[in-house]
């Protein structure tokens, strides 16, 4: 098992931009896509992902200091430290990660064969959400690896089922046939959006808002174009943060760049992934006429629509301000702001690109994350402590929290369930 753990750790250490192309190439060969087509599709997808993450990291690294400055200027302070995607260190390092991955692979294949799910969970990188939760349960139950694996598998299996419910909407809106996105908090955002959007569409006044990028462009002309809209939003945040003229001009250009480049990176991903997924779908239809299979892909493929990042940039300061005023919330979500674009990508297909409705949905969605990240801080912090990370600081009272897995709605209730056995 130790050898397997080491091998799995080495592979996962390659990161999503390497893992995803490898998995796609293997799938292409298994489903007889053809060697050249499989390699071309896999590498192209990897290039698109690498470019997309570069753009996302650029804008997050630019906006986080601005939002932090805004919070500081307003005197907003919280006692817990936001570590966000540092949770991946728990996911890939806790003792049961190899057992979790093997267990899920076997169970997912059985579920597909038995027609219990349409989602073939090939996106190995996104297992990290379930594995991080497993690490929390492992810590919560005093180091029980079996309970940790069981909790992680339950979370990921439910992710497959949620993917089945949302896949068609993602496929149609993003023009990516055959895909499914089972990623943790992303797919949950879609399920949360369904009733909220239904309600918003029945409220007089709100239901008639045309706040899609095209509608904004028609109403405001030049200002509604993605690049100019990004420029203006960057200016507003920079000015609110108290930046110098030079700094907020620079921030505006960075946001504008992101609004233009990000959709093009997603189009490159689509160029690589669609031929492979379509070949797999065709293969399944020819041999199993009653079967439809969704190929699980990284949630990054949902970021291409202009409304995604427009909504995200608006939400960054609003979420910080919301965390400041909600009673009992102990974490200021600065690092966790990075998850908002991925949530927005899951909600925009349901709002039909309406920026205002997307912002409303996600402000409501963020509220339980703020509280759950506060309420799970003990298991979160203890998991890092048992992994030998931040030990000295933790002994001095440091508390660690995050949105993506620490605040995860489904993960919270699974933690509570398995905590009964600890």
Check: CB of residue 174 under 8 Å from CB of residue 270.
yes
Within 8 A by CB and 6+ apart from 222, the residues are 228
Check: CB of residue 64 under 8 Å from CB of residue 237.
no
pLDDT in tens, 40-94: 888 998 888 888 778 777 777 787 788 788 778 777 777 888 888 778 778 888 8
In 3D space, the residue among 214, 188, 169 whose CA is nearest the CA of residue 364 turns out to be: 188
Per-residue pLDDT at 215: 58
Per-residue pLDDT at 249: 86
Structural domain boundaries, residue 172? 2-419
Confidence label for 173 from pLDDT (cuts 50, 70 and 90): very high
- Mean pLDDT taken over the chain: 84
pLDDT in tens, 270-327: 788 888 878 877 777 777 666 788 988 888 889 888 888 888 888 988 988 898 889 9
In 3D space, the residue among 83, 139, 37, 7 whose CA is nearest the CA of residue 335 turns out to be: 83
| SS3 letters across the chain | CHHHHHHHHHHHCCCHHHHHHHHHHHHHHHCCCCHHHHHHHHHHHHHHHHHHHHHHHHHHHHHHHHHHHHHHHCCCCCCEEECHHHHHHHHCCCCCHHHHHHHHHHHHHHHHHCCCCCEECCCHHHHHHHHHHHHHHHHHCCCCHHHHHHHHHHHHHHHHHHHHHHHHHHHHHHCCCCEECCCHHHHHHHHHHHHHHHHHCCCCCHHHCCCCHHHHHHHHHHHHCHHHHHHHHHHHHHHHCCCCHHHHHHHHHHHHHHHHHHHHHHHHHHHHHHHHHHHHHHHHHHHCCCCCCEEECCHHHHCCCHHHHHHHHHHHHHHHHHHHHCCCCCECCCHHHHHHHHHHHHHHHHHCCCHHHHHHHHHHHHHHHHHHHHHCHHHHHHHHHHCCCCHHHHHCCCCEECCCCCCCHHHHHHHHHHHCCC
Check: CB of residue 25 under 8 Å from CB of residue 38.
yes
Please state the pTM of the whole predicted model: 0.86
pLDDT in tens, 201-253: 988 877 777 666 665 555 545 555 777 777 887 888 888 778 888 888 888 88
| Number of structural domains the chain divides into | 1
Task: Check whether 362 has a pLDDT greater than 70.
Answer: yes
Task: Check whether 383 has a pLDDT greater than 70.
Answer: yes
Per-residue pLDDT at 322: 92
């Amino acid at each position: 098992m130790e050898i397997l753990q080491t091998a799995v750790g080495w592979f996962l250490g390659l990161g999503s931009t390497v893992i995803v192309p490898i998995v796609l190439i293997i799938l292409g060969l298994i489903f007889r896509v053809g060697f050249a087509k499989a390699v071309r599709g896999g590498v192209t997808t990897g290039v698109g992902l690498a470019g997309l993450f570069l753009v996302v990291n650029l804008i997050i690294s630019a906006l986080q200091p601005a939002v932090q400055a805004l919070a500081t200027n307003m005197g907003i302070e919280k006692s817990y430290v936001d570590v966000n995607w540092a949770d991946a260190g728990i996911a890939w390092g806790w003792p049961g990660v190899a057992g979790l991955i093997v267990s899920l692979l076997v169970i997912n294949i059985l579920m597909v064969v038995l027609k219990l799910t349409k989602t073939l969970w090939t996106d190995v990188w996104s297992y990290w959400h379930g594995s991080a939760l497993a690490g929390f349960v492992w810590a919560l139950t005093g180091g029980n690896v079996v309970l940790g694996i069981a909790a992680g598998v339950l979370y990921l299996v439910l992710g497959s089922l949620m993917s089945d419910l949302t896949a068609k909407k993602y496929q149609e809106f993003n023009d990516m046939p055959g895909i499914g996105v089972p990623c943790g908090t992303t797919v949950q955002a879609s399920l949360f959006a369904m009733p909220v959007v239904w309600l918003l569409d029945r409220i007089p006044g709100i239901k008639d808002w045309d706040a899609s990028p095209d509608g904004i462009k028609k109403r405001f002309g030049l200002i509604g174009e993605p690049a100019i809209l990004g420029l203006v939003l960057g200016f507003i945040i920079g000015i609110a943060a108290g930046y110098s003229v030079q700094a907020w001009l620079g921030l505006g250009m960075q946001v504008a760049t992101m609004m233009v480049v990000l959709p093009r990176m997603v189009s490159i991903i689509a160029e690589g992934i669609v031929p492979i997924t379509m070949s797999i779908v065709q293969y399944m239809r020819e041999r199993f006429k009653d079967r439809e299979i969704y190929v699980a892909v990284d949630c990054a493929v949902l970021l291409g629509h202009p409304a995604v990042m427009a909504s995200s940039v608006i939400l960054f300061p609003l979420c910080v301000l919301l965390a400041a005023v909600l009673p009992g919330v102990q974490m200021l979500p600065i690092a966790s702001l990075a998850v908002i674009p991925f949530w927005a990508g899951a909600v925009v297909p349901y709002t039909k690109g309406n920026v205002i409705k997307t912002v409303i949905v996600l402000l409501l969605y963020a509220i339980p994350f703020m509280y759950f990240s506060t309420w799970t801080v003990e298991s979160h912090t203890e998991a890092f402590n048992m992994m030998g990370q931040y030990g000295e600081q933790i002994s001095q009272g440091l508390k660690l929290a995050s949105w993506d897995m620490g605040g995860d709605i489904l993960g919270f209730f699974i933690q509570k369930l398995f905590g009964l056995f600890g």
